[in-house]
Amino acid sequence: MTELLLSFRLAFLVTAVLLVCATPLAYWLAFSKWRAKFLVEAVVALPLVLPPTVLGFYLLVAMGPRGPVGKLWLILYGHTLAFTFAGLVVASVLYSLPFCVQPLVASFEKVDPKLLAASRILGADEDRTFFRVILPLSLPGVITAIVLTFAHTLGEFGVVLMVGGNLPGATRTVSISIYDHVQSIEYAAANQLALTLLAISFVLLAIVYGLNRRAGVRWIAH
Amino acid sequence: MDCALAPRSLSVRARRARGSLQLDVHFSAKPGITILFGPSGAGKSTLLDCIAGLVDPDAGEIIAGPHVLFCSERKISRAPQQRRLGYLLQSVALFPHLTVKRNVEYGISHFLKAPREKAVREIFEMFRVEKLASRKPSELSGGEAQRVALARALVTNPDALLLDEPLSGLDAGLKNSIIDDLRAWNARHQIPILYVTHSREEVDALGEGVIALENGKVVATGSPREVLDAPRNRQLAQAIGFENILEGTVLQLRSSDGAMRVQLGASACEIEVPLSHASPGDRLNVAVRAGDILLATAKPVQLSAGNVLEGNLEHLDQRGSMVIARVNCGATFIVHITPRAVRSLALAPGQKVWLVLKTHSCHLVEHQ
């Protein structure tokens, strides 16, 4: 059960961190007129195409005792970031970034520019326009971003294994635990965890899609 | 909010070149409705966007009431949210997730609750939308949405109001009642209202000062009659519905008659038109409305009209309740007649007919 709790703690944290960090990034990607924007878009999308081991490998190197992040962490906290829960959070944030950013960008871009113009002409600055017009109208996209980020973090395996290793209570997540059980031919235990994960994931997705449907329809009908 | 300020005016000098549109205008608008009229692509919407601050002119100066909104020399360009303007687009752009009341409150949410409620109540009454307060924009009719959009723009007490074909989708009755409410509101507040349209019916109906825009330039200003009836430019004439625009050469000036004779094209067809600053040999365009021409099957005599042209009826084409006749008098004229006239005169293609054109129905348009 500790593995399950750890996985959920990780997924919650990563989702929270990403919502705060990815929203301004998504806003910028949706509305910036900078010509080289596509480069940033490509970087954000990288985790989608890279094998988790590649990303995990570079993160491990960066977080290790000779990597820049690892060195800094060593000075601040007396140990490196690799093979810790904090390291897992950092790695997962990067790995799940596109799953949070892309739905947000897509829904921000879908907001009618005339509404944004109307908001500004009515005296609202960019911040107010964002919170009063863009965000409420992008609610389905926000929900999608939350779900995808959460589910993706919950199910990740490769990056966690590379960066976190397999330390019970610290970095052993559900997916790694299942792998462990299978390796030790403990199919019953593996099945129990897998089934729990499956059920929880399904319930989560069902709730979110249900909410999303209502949110999407709300402005059209009532 | 004190409404009894000195009358606010709007003064615009703007130059902006993008793609095929070379905007270069200079005008000012007094309190009341000023119509910006021109065909699509004339730069009307771009001009409004410049005033609202959605795009910047390359050069110029825009002043609304006491505020300089844009000045290229002094490098001033206020953000749209600092311009204190109302801007209504053709698509009303009401916030779909907010109720009518929330929409109207949007621009005055910084007010304290009591004055805010009061302002909303007053504007609701003015534009008769009290009953819609708790509805969502998706539950409004076109006219209701326009009323709410006007209320939302005007509750902020803007220095000027920009309307981009706001009522183009509505029927005449609805349109008039909204315009009446707008005029009533403005009787108290006295702000300049720029009303963009490409419909000459709307220009006629509003009956206010007109600024005619063509290819990004102001080509005429004045009352609707002055601008619409005496177009000085060929495209404008086409835009406002002159079906006959014929090239001609000045033959002879008759100053004492206030008229001159013009030969149409290379034909032998000569007509009399009002006198203008021209000399024999000058080329010009003559514009005549198809509805201003009389058609007769026998030669009319004893008429005040200066032009009776003999011609051949080439073609008749019924379009709804109107018949379009094409008559060749050397130059080809389009004439609008009624189906009744076709029947009673037993008109048929190939027939010899006479066209009657009053001298003052022939409008001179500069030659390009």
Here the CATH number for the domain that contains residue B329 is 2.40.50.100
**Does B153 sit within 8 Å of A219, measured CB to CB?**
no
Check if B27 contacts A (Cβ < 8 Å). Answer: no
pLDDT at B229: 65
Prediction pTM value = 0.72
Q: Tell me which residues of chain B, numbers 319 to 338, contact chain A at a CB-CB cutoff of 8 Å.
A: none
Q: Is residue B288 part of a domain?
A: yes
* CA geometry: angle A135, A137, A143, nearest 5 deg: 70
**Does B85 sit within 8 Å of A218, measured CB to CB?**
no
**Does B136 sit within 8 Å of A118, measured CB to CB?**
no
Of the pLDDT bands very low, low, confident and very high (cuts 50, 70, 90), residue A214 is low
Structure tokens of B150? 């006007």
Same domain, B16 and B140: yes
**Does B91 sit within 8 Å of A123, measured CB to CB?**
no
**Does A121 sit within 8 Å of B81, measured CB to CB?**
yes
* All residues at 6 or more sequence positions from B78 whose CB lies less than 8 Å from its CB, including other chains: B53, B67, B68, B69, B70
Query: Which of B97, B100, B132 would you mutate first to test chain A, the one with the most A CBs within 10 A?
Result: B97
Q: Is residue A72 part of a domain?
A: no
Q: What is the mean pLDDT of residues A65-82?
A: 81
Please give the span between the terminal C-alpha atoms of chain B, in angstroms, as a whole number: 52
Q: Tell me which residues of chain A, numbers 73 to 112, contact chain B at a CB-CB cutoff of 8 Å.
A: 112
Q: Is residue A28 part of a domain?
A: yes
State which residue of chain B sits closest to A125, comparing Cα positions: B81
Of the pLDDT bands very low, low, confident and very high (cuts 50, 70, 90), residue B7 is low
Q: What is the mean pLDDT of residues A11-28?
A: 95
At A158-189, the pLDDT tens digits run 888 888 877 777 778 888 888 889 989 999 98
Q: Is residue B57 part of a domain?
A: yes
What are the distances in angstroms from CA B317 to CA A73, B310, B333, B346, B350? 87, 20, 14, 14, 14
CA B63 to chain centre: 23
At B234-254, the pLDDT tens digits run 666 666 677 888 888 899 888
Q: Is residue B246 part of a domain?
A: yes
Which residues from chain A sit within 8 angstroms of residue B52, using beta carbons? 117, 121
How far is the alpha carbon of A138 from chain B, nearest alpha carbon, in Å?
11
How many beta-carbon contacts under 8 Å exist across A and B? 66
Same domain, B226 and B249: no
pLDDT at A53: 87
Q: Is residue B146 part of a domain?
A: yes
**Any alpha helices (H) in chain A, and if so which ranges?**
2-31, 37-49, 52-63, 68-77, 85-110, 113-121, 126-129, 135-137, 139-155, 158-164, 174-183, 187-218
Residue of B52, B91, B97 with shortest CB distance to A121: B52
* All residues at 6 or more sequence positions from A217 whose CB lies less than 8 Å from its CB, including other chains: none
Phi, psi of A178 (to 5 degrees): -60, -45
Which residues from chain A sit within 8 angstroms of residue B82, using beta carbons? 123
pLDDT at B1: 39
Distance, in Å, from the CA atom of A210 to the CA atom of A203, rounded to the nearest integer, reads 10
Q: Are A55 and A95 in contact (CB under 8 A)?
A: yes
Check if B156 contacts A (Cβ < 8 Å). Answer: yes
Same domain, B223 and B150: yes
Distance, in Å, from the CA atom of B290 to the CA atom of B334, rounded to the nearest integer, reads 6
- Number of residues written out for chain B: 368
Residue A217 in this model has a pLDDT that exceeds 60: no
Structure tokens of A91? 């790695």
Q: What is the mean pLDDT of residues B335-340?
A: 91
pLDDT at A180: 87
Which residues from chain B sit within 8 angstroms of residue A133, using beta carbons? 95
pLDDT at B206: 77
Same domain, B136 and B265: no
pLDDT at B235: 66
Structure tokens of A52? 């988790």
Q: What percentage of chain A exceeds 70 in pLDDT?
A: 95
Q: Is residue A63 part of a domain?
A: no
State which residue of chain B sits closest to A113, comparing Cα positions: B93
Of the pLDDT bands very low, low, confident and very high (cuts 50, 70, 90), residue A97 is very high
**Does A122 sit within 8 Å of B81, measured CB to CB?**
yes
Same domain, B228 and B257: no
At B105-137, the pLDDT tens digits run 999 988 888 899 999 999 999 999 999 999 999
At A185-196, the pLDDT tens digits run 999 989 998 998
Q: Are B203 and B35 in contact (CB under 8 A)?
A: yes
- Of the three residues B238, B253, B280, the one that is the final residue of a domain is B238
Mean pLDDT in chain A? 87
At B144-169, the pLDDT tens digits run 999 999 999 999 999 999 999 878 77
Number of independent structural domains in chain A:
1
Q: What is the mean pLDDT of residues A103-116?
A: 94
Which residues from chain B sit within 8 angstroms of residue A137, using beta carbons? 96-97
Query: Which of A110, A122, A129 would you mutate first to test chain B, the one with the most B CBs within 10 A?
Result: A122
Range of the domain at A123: 2-53+83-218
Q: What is the mean pLDDT of residues B298-314?
A: 89
Mean pLDDT in chain B? 86
- Of the three residues B195, B218, B238, the one that is the final residue of a domain is B238
Check if A209 contacts B (Cβ < 8 Å). Answer: no
Same domain, B253 and B191: no
- Mapping DSSP onto H, E and C, the string for chain B reads CCCCCCCCCEEEEEEEEECCEEEEEEEEECCEEEEEECCCCCCHHHHHHHHHCCCCCCEEEEEECCEEEEECCCCEECCHHHCCEEEECCCCCCCCCCCHHHHHHHHHCCCCHHHHHHHHHHHHHHCCCHHHCCCCHHHCCHHHHHHHHHHHHHCCCCCEEEEECCCCCCCHHHHHHHHHHHHHHHHHHCCEEEEEECCHHHHHHHCCEEEEEECCEEEEEECHHHHHHCCCEHHHHHHCCCCEEEEEEEEEEEHHHCEEEEEECCCCCEEEEECCCCCCCCEEEEEECHHHCEEECCCCCCCCCCEEEEEEEEEEEEECCEEEEEEECCCEEEEEECHHHHHHCCCCCCCEEEEEECHHHCEEEECC
Distance, in Å, from the CA atom of A215 to the CA atom of A205, rounded to the nearest integer, reads 15
Residue A215 in this model has a pLDDT that exceeds 90: no
Same domain, B228 and B260: no
Residue B3 in this model has a pLDDT that exceeds 60: no
Long-range contact pairs involving B46-51 (C-beta distance under 8 Å, separation at least 24): B46/B16, B46/B18, B46/B21, B46/B216, B47/B12, B47/B14, B47/B23, B47/B213, B48/B87, B48/B162, B48/B164, B48/B194, B48/B196, B50/B12, B50/B14, B50/B16, B50/B23, B51/B10, B51/B12, B51/B14, B51/B85, B51/B160, B51/B162, B51/B194
Q: Are A14 and A89 in contact (CB under 8 A)?
A: yes
Same domain, B119 and B172: yes
Q: Are B241 and B224 in contact (CB under 8 A)?
A: no
**Does B97 sit within 8 Å of A136, measured CB to CB?**
yes
Q: What percentage of chain B exceeds 70 in pLDDT?
A: 93
Which residues from chain B sit within 8 angstroms of residue A123, using beta carbons? 81-82, 84, 107, 110, 156
Check if A119 contacts B (Cβ < 8 Å). Answer: yes
Higher pLDDT, A73 or B23: B23
- Of the three residues B218, B238, B258, the one that is the final residue of a domain is B238
Q: Are B248 and B264 in contact (CB under 8 A)?
A: yes
**Does B52 sit within 8 Å of A122, measured CB to CB?**
no
Q: Tell me which residues of chain B, numbers 49 to 78, contact chain A at a CB-CB cutoff of 8 Å.
A: 52-54
CATH code assigned at A28: 1.10.3720.10
Structure tokens of B338? 């009624």
Distance, in Å, from the CA atom of A120 to the CA atom of B295, rounded to the nearest integer, reads 56
Most confidently modeled range among B203-212, B270-279, B322-331: B322-331
CATH code assigned at B18: 3.40.50.300
Same domain, B322 and B228: no
CB atoms closer than 10 angstroms to residue A28: 14
Which residues from chain A sit within 8 angstroms of residue B139, using beta carbons? 222
Q: Is residue B3 part of a domain?
A: no
Q: Tell me which residues of chain B, numbers 263 to 292, contact chain A at a CB-CB cutoff of 8 Å.
A: none
Q: Is residue B2 part of a domain?
A: no
Number of independent structural domains in chain B:
2
pLDDT at A144: 86
Structure tokens of A41? 């878009």
Which residues from chain A sit within 8 angstroms of residue B156, using beta carbons? 122-123
Same domain, B275 and B181: no
Which residues from chain A sit within 8 angstroms of residue B83, using beta carbons? 121
Q: CB-hemisphere CA count at 13 Å for B91?
A: 11
Range of the domain at B77: 10-238
How far is the alpha carbon of A113 from chain B, nearest alpha carbon, in Å?
9
Most confidently modeled range among A104-108, B8-12, B290-294, B364-368: A104-108
Structure tokens of B353? 């007919």
Residue A62 in this model has a pLDDT that exceeds 80: yes
Residue with tokens 């949706």: A30
**Does A222 sit within 8 Å of B93, measured CB to CB?**
no
Same domain, B260 and B215: no
Residue of A117, A136, A222 with shortest CB distance to B54: A117
